[in-house]
Amino acid sequence: MNKDIIKGNWKQVKGKLKQQWGKLTDDEISQMEGNYDELQGALQKKYGYKKDEAERELNKFIDDNQW
């Protein structure tokens, strides 16, 4: 479900992602094109999250923003 929310609301999500996770570059965010798995991987790489940790943070981000 959250994967669909990210993809379906990508234009709105992009700006919020940059605010939440400033280490992600605009180019990285643009290239993801709403791909949840790519976003999760980028968070793991940039922030050192483990896979389950990145997923938990993404789900919290989605829930907090109520897309």
Read off the pLDDT of residues 8-67 as tens digits, 9 standing for 90 and up. 889 889 999 999 999 999 999 999 999 999 999 999 999 999 999 999 999 999 999 876
Q: How confident is residue 1, by pLDDT bands cut at 50, 70 and 90? A: low
The enclosing domain of 53 has a CATH number of: 1.10.1470.10
Task: Tell me the DSSP string of the chain.
Answer: -HHHHHHHTHHHHHHHHHHH-TTS-HHHHHHHTT-HHHHHHHHHHHH---HHHHHHHHHHHHHHHT-
Q: What is the pLDDT of residue 4?
A: 87
Specify the number of domains making up the chain.
1
Read off the pLDDT of residues 48-58 as tens digits, 9 standing for 90 and up. 999 999 999 99
Provide the residue range defining the domain that includes 13. 2-65
Report the predicted TM-score, pTM, of the whole model to 2 decimal places: 0.86
Q: At what angle do helices 36-47 and 51-65 cross, to 10 degrees?
A: 120
CA distance 32 to 45: 14
